[in-house]
Amino acid sequence: MSAIRRKFGEDYQVVNTNRGMTFSAPVKRKRQRFVEKNGRCNVQHGNLGGETSRYISDLFTTLVDLKWRWNLLIFILTYTVAWLVMASMWWVIAYIRGDLSHGGHDSSYTPCVANVYNFPSAFLFFIETEATIGYGYRYITEKCPEGIILFLFQSLLGSIVDAFLIGCMFIKMSQPKKRAETLMFSQDAVISQRDGKLCLMFRVGNLRNSHMVSAQIRCKLIKSRQTPEGEFLPLDQCELDVGFGTGADQLFLVSPLTICHEINTKSPFFDLSQRSLMNEQFEIVVILEGIVETTG
């Protein structure tokens, strides 16, 4: 019996199990994909109403989802603006108290912050305090309650900004997008017989030596269909069984493995003939989940 022939993803190779012959894949046809090979979904949301406010309400996730160039720009601008604003507040206190007029040379005068007599010195004092460098040349005196209050406010604000931005950068660097580049899927999917059963098969492998803990694989068939009530579903998702009952979907991904979907009476491909399968428009999305051993 000849195997069913169909293009899955970009390439497909058909194996004739009776004659032992291999047919070349059909010519590639450029078409719009629901999910790209790199995992990016080609879905754009629009005309929902209040999109901007929803993104701002979850600002942390919005920053994590931004591209690296925007993250770095926001990171630099936030710290630069915060430094300039806080340094200006220290300069304003020194100006109001008259510390600037003494120029830091009157030993009998007790300023709010010692040796702060212009904006650059106020900026240096802020940086020394914020970075906990503490050179010992500039310090707050006990006769400046407003300076003590500003110092406490600066410490709290600095901790919040550091936790927010550094946490955002850490989560963005630990995202699995780059790790996924070392998870390889076979370029071709085949339909052939295995153990006397017609199966859809493809391979997956891990290039790194670090293991993936609790690796699990799932397959989704995405195609349009019409319900018996006449409702049209443009992107209906159907689960493809890749061994849920037998535990074959739980992978020990040390060496490349062949994933198998049996085309039985429960398979969405069971009622399709060779010709109808070639004319069908659908997409199979393979989802590999797991925990990276080195980073968790």
Could you give the domains of the chain? 53-172 (1.10.287.70), 178-290 (2.60.40.1400)
Q: Give the chain's mean pLDDT.
A: 80
pTM assigned to the model: 0.60
pLDDT tier at 184, thresholds 50, 70, 90: confident
Range of weakest confidence among 5-14, 37-46, 179-188, 247-256: 5-14
25: region left, alpha or beta (phi > 0 left; psi from -120 to 50 alpha)? beta
Answer yes or no: is pLDDT of 223 > 70.
Answer: yes
Residue 95's CB is within 10 A of a number of other CB atoms, namely 15
The more confident residue out of 109 and 151 is 151
Answer yes or no: is pLDDT of 284 > 60.
Answer: yes
Answer yes or no: is pLDDT of 172 > 70.
Answer: yes
Would the CA dihedral through 243, 248, 249, 255 be positive or negative?
Answer: negative
Q: Position of tokens 């003590």?
A: 148
pLDDT value at position 1? 34
- Identify whether the C-beta of residue 101 lies closer than 8 Å to the C-beta of residue 95: no
Note the pLDDT tens digit of each residue in 140-149: 888 888 888 9
Q: Is 132 helix (H, G, I), strand (E, B) or coil?
A: coil
Q: Which residues contact 51 (CB under 8 A, 6 or more apart)?
A: 45
pLDDT value at position 104? 56
